[in-house]
A and B are shown apart, each in its own frame.
Chain A
Amino acid sequence: MHPAPSIIFFTAASGAGYGLLVFAALAGLIGLVPVGSASGFALLLPALLLVAAGLLASAGHLGHPERAWRAFSQWRSSWLSREGVAAVVSFVPALGLAWAWALDGRLAPLLALATILMAVLTVYCTAMIYASLKPIPRWHHRLVPPVYLGLGAASGSAVGIAAAAWTGAPLLPLAPLVALALLVGWGLKWRYWQSVDTQPATATTADTVGLGDRGTVRLVEPPHTERNYILDEMGFRIARKHSAKLRRHALVAGLALPLVALVLALLLPSAAAALLLSIGAALALVGVAIERWLFFAEAEHMVMLYYGKGAV
């Protein structure tokens, strides 16, 4: 599948934004960060900005962004519509939480819980847009929603602890939460990669033309000599050796380096720690962006069986 920059940015940024909302709300509820205007602005402003930027970027993928409001109407059947509705609704508790936290200096527990619920729900909807598509076996996979949630939490908490560090909040209580999110998120992704690499093909060209019981079928004459929308959108190919390399880059940037930054930050004075954690957070976002690029680039659509691919 064609890795469109707007969608990669949308899912990576909004995932991190919602992850950061969950991280902040949890940390506030458990009492791991002091509640006040400094921590409120440092944690919740970037979260809301990441979410908003992601949503705006997603509109960039549309042929008619001026009609985007229509996308809120079909929540009964469409995961994309549900995602849009959930994203807008999630702003209500999130803005309320941010208001109480940063301006009134108090934690509103119900708003914090509602924020967590809506953030999880929204990211789940985002993942289901892809996981519900049967013609793309690598997306129609049970681990896709957990991976989206896990990596949102991983990148969001990496940003969260960096933001908390700049306000001078104690890092030791937050560090285990961040390490856990990073390890779980990328652990799930590791499991997903293992699973899709050994996944048997779902269909052959003979199946797609209804001759599966007759023999093997091979394309000899494509319907057109030039590229078309189908090939541009669904005919993206990536060499196996490149994908292996990019998976390593994603793991190093998204998991290994943010973990190293986390451990070192606990040993350093606060200004240096904040700087180091910020670099770690940026790398965590880059790691998820690489992972998301691969999520598209490695996914194969069954329609390519009509265009010369033997099995998908």
Chain B
Amino acid sequence: MTSLPATPSAKRLGLVIDLDTCVGCQACVVHCKEWNTSSGASALSDTEPYGEEPSGAWLNRVHGFELDDSASGGCGSTVHFPRSCLHCENAACVTVCPTGASYKRAEDGIVLVDESKCIGCGLCAWACPYGAREMDQVAKVMKKCTLCVDRIYNENLPVEEREPACVRTCPAKARHFGDLGDPESDVSQLVAERGGVALMPELDYRPTNRYLPPRRPVPTADQKAALEPAPGGFLGWLDRLLADQP
């Protein structure tokens, strides 16, 4: 059934990704591929992996951007941006699916694909502004992030492993997993504290995942002094004299 759940689930599992700490190491990309190629209904295939035109289906991609925020007083920075399914509340990839293969779970909000029903029409990938879905060129079905649904509830795994592979592997602890429907959860608190944002809210897809914007560097007194060395000589004397006056 590709109609969205009648009432949005109270539990909204998702990721919070910290753009301030992500170093763009691609470890999440690799662990995602490793886990999901062996856990899904079919492998996450690669075509010509060692050939001239290697290609393949991946569920997580990390882009490197340059942020020029000089107009708003910033000094510019590199932003590494991991991109994967945001498990939207108003998921158009689900409603456009003609077969019922694409669905959103009522109990926790995870968006999944039932590969046995997927006809490989590609319409869901067109409907996603975030580019979260990739067609597997061998299995001819649509692939997407499952939020590692086969890890997070897996009682055969040690408790500390019951989180998405990308989160588990991130060496910079830039990825966080939890219930964004619960305002008291660690992830919700983190989003509140750091001013986490939803991507392109104006499209009204209502993503669950949040991104924490890079912190604005606040220079220390020493750094300020280093940036603006106090003038010496007569001007320095005048400067100190004026600064001391009430």
A-B contact pairs, 24 of them (CB 8 A): A63-B122, A70-B99, A70-B117, A71-B119, A72-B98, A73-B99, A78-B97, A135-B203, A209-B199, A210-B199, A213-B72, A214-B69, A216-B67, A217-B66, A219-B66, A221-B64, A223-B62, A223-B64, A223-B83, A224-B58, A226-B54, A227-B53, A233-B125, A303-B128
Stretch at the interface among A45-53, A79-87, A188-196: A79-87
B81, B94, B97, B99: residue with the most chain A Cβ atoms closer than 10 Å: B99
Contact, CB under 8 Å: B3 / A76: yes
Contact, CB under 8 Å: A64 / B118: yes
Residues of B within 8 A of A (CB): 1-4, 19, 24, 29, 53-58, 61-72, 74, 78-79, 81, 83, 92, 94-101, 117-123, 125-131, 134-135, 137, 139-141, 197-200, 203, 205, 211, 213-214
Stretch at the interface among A88-96, A150-158, A200-208: A200-208
Q: A63-B140, A306-B83 are in contact. Are A215 and B63 (CB under 8 A)?
A: no
Closest to B63 in A: A223
User: B interface, by DSSP: helix, strand, loop or mixed?
Assistant: loop
Closest to B94 in A: A77
Chain A residues, Cβ within 8 Å of B92: 132-134
Q: Which of B54, B99, B119, B198 contacts A65 (CB 8 A)?
A: B119
Q: 8 Å CB contacts to B: which residues of A32-68?
A: 61-65, 67-68
Complex formed: what's the CA distance from A211 to B198 in Å? Answer: 10
Q: Which of B3, B61, B122 contacts A77 (CB 8 A)?
A: B3
Contact, CB under 8 Å: B129 / A74: no
16 extra interface residue pairs, beta carbon distance < 8 Å, beyond A132-B96, A217-B66, A302-B200: A63-B135, A67-B119, A68-B119, A77-B95, A81-B98, A134-B205, A135-B128, A135-B129, A206-B67, A217-B68, A218-B68, A220-B78, A229-B55, A230-B125, A234-B126, A306-B81
Complex formed: what's the CA distance from A210 to B203 in Å? Answer: 13
Contact, CB under 8 Å: B197 / A210: yes
Contact, CB under 8 Å: B134 / A79: no
